[in-house]
Amino acid sequence: MSLDIKTLVQKYNTPLYVYDFNNIASRYKELKESFEGKKSLVAYAVKSNSNLAVIKHLAKLGAGADCVSIGEVKRALKAGVKKYKIIFSGVGKLDSEIREALEKDILLLNLESEAEMKRVEMIAKELQVEARISIRVNPNVDPKTHPYISTGLHENKFGVSIDSAKRMYIYAKKSKYLNPIGIHFHIGSQLTELSPIREACEIVADLVRSLKAIDIDIKFFDIGGGLGVVYNEEETIDPKEYALNILQSIKGLDLTIVMEPGRYIMANAGIFLTRVLYEKRNGNKRFVIVDGAMNDLLRPSLYNAYHKIEAVQKDGEKSSADVVGPVCESGDFLGKSVPLPPLEHNDILVVHSAGAYGFTMSSNYNTRGRVAEVAILDGKDYLIRERESFEDQIRLEEACDTSWQ
């Protein structure tokens, strides 16, 4: 992303998220074209960055949406995603969410347990509709990633075992109100090795073959997301190799491949800009205090995740510093032991790879307003979310009756 960062900061202030929409399109097309000639659906993982402008941009390219709440389903529809390209996943769907998803007639609901299947069947019966479903299978494959973003082992809360899935599919096949058309698995995020993906695909493909043998016609083979990206010199998976391994594992099966990329599309399409407030030292420890904080970008505090941090147009001998924010928590940091030149008030730092799981995980902790978001498309900048004001934060509280106090 070639940007005049100082001009953007003058125009929109800091902290600030900036997204390269040309890069977003390139990443989407790269993945889609890897499956060229095969039936496929790229269902963008809305949770990674749910800005309406981002979803709309991808929808125009032909993307679907992987949603984990009815709010995300409604965002996808509002942004122009076709209803037949929307998947509703998630471990804990409310009855009201299931009902609304069925009423909106989206592609399918992805189920995580037998108990959930029974709720969906009951609600579908009430509505007198047939619920199109897939079942999330847990292939018990080690994804070799951070434990917080591992999802495919028995110790994780997601999905059901192969044996449980078989029983659920047989039940669904017999039900008047359930139509089992898909199968789903997702072993984890930030995957940088092909072997766990290939192993999981082969396990689930074998299950599909056994289901077809008893006349359960699975049409959608949902491989989830999880393709890793470069945060800190990681070796990543080539999309063409990714596609080849998946297609080999389902050889002989007539299936539409569904992918749910989020980080892969968004992470390196976004940066986070923050302004230096002060420098300080505690003994030999150097701190750079900035106006961005853990409430704006939670990943470093939550996962101890690494984001490359650079100073804009500053020279000088670099020394190690912790980049910390104003939030009243010891865990409020954007980076530790970051090599930075001497910095002064109002200098700008760029936090890289911040397009995924940045703004969407932000909060109003310490009554801090959520930051603005800006899109860059063909060299022009566009405000896609206004900076949140104090009045925005308290609006729903002020709307309540306080006469009892």
Please report the pLDDT score of residue 143 as a whole number.
58
Conformational region of residue 203, where left means phi above 0, alpha means psi within -120 to 50, and beta covers everything else:
alpha
Cα gap 52→35, rounded to integer Å? 27
Cα gap 368→169, rounded to integer Å? 47
Please report the pLDDT score of residue 148 as a whole number.
42
Q: Which two tokens stand for residue 138?
A: 């847990």
Please report the pLDDT score of residue 156 as a whole number.
57
Please report the pLDDT score of residue 2 as a whole number.
62
- Whether 328 is a known active-site residue: answer yes
Is residue 112 within 8 A of residue 90, CB to CB? The reply is yes
Distances (CA, A) of 24 to 1, 91, 241, 270, 393: 11, 28, 21, 9, 30
The position carrying tokens 């300080």 is 280
Task: Give this prediction's pTM.
Answer: 0.94
Task: Give the sign of the dihedral formed by CA 106, CA 107, CA 113, CA 114.
Answer: positive
Partners of 324 in beta bridges? 289, 333
Report all structural domains of the chain as residue ranges with CATH numbers, in order of start: 5-16+268-389 (2.40.37.10), 35-261 (3.20.20.10)
Helix, strand or coil, per DSSP, at residue 345: coil
Cα gap 122→125, rounded to integer Å? 5
Is residue 183 within 8 A of residue 177, CB to CB? The reply is no
Q: Which two tokens stand for residue 219?
A: 């049409």
Burial zone of 27 (CB within 10 Å; 0-12 exposed, 13-18 middle, 19+ buried): buried
Is residue 197 within 8 A of residue 245, CB to CB? The reply is yes
What pLDDT, in 10s, does the model give residues 321-362?
Answer: 999 999 999 999 999 999 999 999 999 999 999 999 999 999
Q: Which two tokens stand for residue 34?
A: 């890897």
Please report the pLDDT score of residue 1 as a whole number.
58
E-assigned strand segments in 94-251 = 108-111, 131-136, 178-184, 220-222
Listed as ranges, residues in the chain with pLDDT below 70 are 1-2, 143-157
| Cα 362 versus chain centre, distance | 13
Asked whether the bond before 15 is cis by omega within 30 degrees of 0, the reply is: yes
Cα gap 111→117, rounded to integer Å? 6
Cα gap 204→255, rounded to integer Å? 13
Closest to 139 (Cα-Cα) out of 215, 197, 220, 192: 197
Please report the pLDDT score of residue 235 as a whole number.
87
What pLDDT, in 10s, does the model give residues 239-258?
Answer: 999 999 999 999 999 999 99
Closest to 388 (Cα-Cα) out of 305, 296, 320: 296
Closest to 45 (Cα-Cα) out of 69, 20, 21: 69
Q: Which two tokens stand for residue 279?
A: 């420098």
Choose, from 67, 201, 328, 400, the residue flagged as catalytic: 328
